[in-house]
Amino acid sequence: MLNQFAFIGCFLLVALTFGIAPPALAWLFRPKKPNPRKSQIYECGMQTHGETWVQFKAQYYTFAIAFVLFDVEAVFLLPWALAYNALALYAVIEAVIFIAILLVGLFYLWRKRALEWM
Amino acid sequence: MSSAYSVLTPGQVVWALSPELLLLVTGLLILGLDAVHPHKEEKRWLPHLALGGLAVALLGAITLWGCNTRVLAVLSCDPFALMVKIVALVAIGLVVLLSEVYIERHSARHQGEFYALLLFSAIPICLLGGATNLVLIFLAFDFLSISSYVLTGYLRDDPRSAEAGVKYFLYGAAISAVMLFGLSWIYGLTGSVELGEIATVLPKLEGNTQNLLLPALAFVLAGFAFKIAAFPFHQWAPDAYEGAPTPVTAFISVGPKIGGFAVIVRVLLTAFSPHTVVELAGNWRVALMAISILTMTFGNLVALWQTNIKRLLAYSSIAHAGYVLIGVVAASTQGIAAVLLYLAAYAFTNLGAFASVIAFSNQTGSDEIAAYAGMHQRAPGLALVLIICLLSLIGIPLTGGFVGKLWLFSAALEEGLLALAVIGVVNTVISVSYYWKIMRAMYFDPPPTEEQVVVSPALGVAMGVALVGIFALGIFPNALLPLLDAAARVFF
């Protein structure tokens, strides 16, 4: 048991060295001559125009959450649909109840005007 | 767990799950009906519908009494589970009564969500009463947590409520991950998520592997301790209690505690029972004893300095979790019966106390103890109810709190845990001084105004039910003894 953990310990050490060594060596040996052009961001996205502290509309998140909800529903329903022919009536009713609960949620969102962009 | 693995017909499964299913249907009905009339401000019928759902679910739980079987292989329908459900449903019914005026006043537009969430949070508490599967336990725990977070941050325009919700959420999410990690260890070591199977596998494990179970159990206990707000995992409680809307404070001081204790008792006494794994059980008993002592001492000592009544009741509820843990440490039939009785008495008492706090703040808008000065002149009935609840929290004879403490301490003595019982009694004496602070303000300090405090009918009913509960448990506890005994015998 302990031997196996020692193996994991060695592995961890090797992994860490492997990750840390190249940047450390590069930092040691590379020439250090910065100039403004070199300090620019390179392939790290666009340079920002104007204020960086932009505020996003929080309403976006209600859409995102509703989307995730139905996304997960699809994930659950896929295996159910694939095994549909082999399933008992019981499983079909369960899935219908599951969809019905989510539909109540959608109905609620709609009636509470969470789906309107304000 | 002597019950046979009999296969139930779908009808029987639905019947066995009727409390949870009825709560779900009522919750969805409330959401749907609320959505049909989104702009009507007058929504008196919402709490009544919620109460109706809870009453029918309670009826379902009561008709199931006597059943002792497995449902869908992950739930146990036994007297212990049903007892937990009955206590939880009554408690949440009281919370609905407490909410009516408060929620209408503070957030009239979103009442449907509030009552639906309250009903949805009753479902996991009911499930936790009977869950015998680690996966279901984790899911129900998180279900309960998430609805509690949302309820805590329910007044979203109030920064204090939002802050309380976020604090509760961050703390709970971290602890939830820790608990899941511990559960995964237990699964990895025993190869099962079923409590009964874990119990049969554990004694056969080698000594080395059994030692690995200790950290796993520590992680899992951390998750449980968070739910009941026990000592090192209590930091969220005072802030969450103070910032949350007061009816929600009442709910999170009772609801999650009932669910948490149900799981603690079932997991520890089924999978890690002192009868099967002696050494391991010895370890968790010592750990829980330490947590119990620290929890009650810390809760009571810090409560001494509080000037806000919600914060004071928060620390007092931490202390009460410490008392209840005594019964779990005793790990005997008496101990578990005492845990159930204490939880029931505590639910009535604390909700009664919160009913008076809400009635008072509905009128005055203040939760400071100083504002309670001369309350017996402004509202003699209200002051009397609060006094009776505080006396029950202290544990004065004739109240449910007294019988609960008596049973807990005698269960500890029966198991030879003299020190634990003595520390419990000392703590009870300490607690008198901060409860006395409220009583002194109400009866001996001069009132700032002569204005009378008016109590709404719903709050009046809640106080009435709480008082009946407190005195029924305090004067006729022996009538309940056979029921509690049956519930406790599930594990022995």
Q: How does pLDDT run across B258-270, given as a tens digit for each residue? A: 999 999 999 999 9
Contact A111 B35 (CB under 8 A): yes
Give the pLDDT band of residue B4 (cuts 50, 70, 90).
very low
Cα Rg of chain A (Å, integer): 27
Same domain as A63, residue A33: no
Q: Is the pLDDT of residue B208 over 80?
A: no
Per-residue model confidence as pLDDT tens digits over B132-147: 999 999 999 999 999 9
What is the ipTM score, two decimals?
Answer: 0.73
Same domain as A78, residue A35: no
pLDDT at A112: 82
pLDDT at B386: 93
Per-residue model confidence as pLDDT tens digits over B458-484: 999 999 999 999 999 999 999 999 999
Q: How far is CA B177 from CA B113, B141, B225, in A?
A: 27, 12, 14
**Residue A101 at interface with chain B, using a CB cutoff of 8 Å:** yes
pLDDT at B254: 94
A11-34 mean pLDDT: 91
Chain B residues touching residue A110 (CB < 8 angstroms): 35
The residue range of the domain holding A71 is 59-111
What percent of chain B is predicted at pLDDT more than 70? Answer: 98
Q: Is the pLDDT of residue B3 over 70?
A: no
Whole-prediction pTM value? 0.87
Q: How far is CA B391 from CA B33, B349, B353, B399, in A?
A: 42, 9, 10, 8
- Domain assignment present for A17: yes
B202-214 mean pLDDT: 81
- Domain assignment present for A49: no
Mean residue pLDDT of chain B comes to 90
Interface of B with A in 11-50 (CB under 8 A): 24, 28, 31-32, 34-36, 38
Ranking A69-73, B101-105, B315-319, B449-453 by mean pLDDT, the lowest is B449-453
pLDDT at B39: 62
B178-200 mean pLDDT: 92
pLDDT at B475: 92
The domain tally of chain A equals: 2
Chain B residues touching residue A107 (CB < 8 angstroms): 32, 35
Chain A residues touching residue B10 (CB < 8 angstroms): 90
Same domain as A65, residue A95: yes
Per-residue model confidence as pLDDT tens digits over B64-108: 988 888 888 889 999 999 999 999 999 999 999 999 888 888 877
Contact A107 B32 (CB under 8 A): yes
Per-residue model confidence as pLDDT tens digits over B211-227: 788 889 999 999 999 99
Give the pLDDT band of residue B6 (cuts 50, 70, 90).
low
Closest by Cβ to B28, choosing from A1, A104, A113: A104
Per-residue model confidence as pLDDT tens digits over B337-357: 999 999 999 999 999 999 999
Q: Is the pLDDT of residue A85 over 90?
A: no
- Domain assignment present for A77: yes
Same domain as A107, residue A67: yes
Domain of residue A104, CATH code: 1.20.58.1610
- Domain assignment present for A118: no
Residues B91, B57 contacting (CB under 8 angstroms) = no
Same domain as A106, residue A65: yes
Ranking B39-53, B248-262, B383-397 by mean pLDDT, the lowest is B39-53
Chain B residues touching residue A101 (CB < 8 angstroms): 24, 28
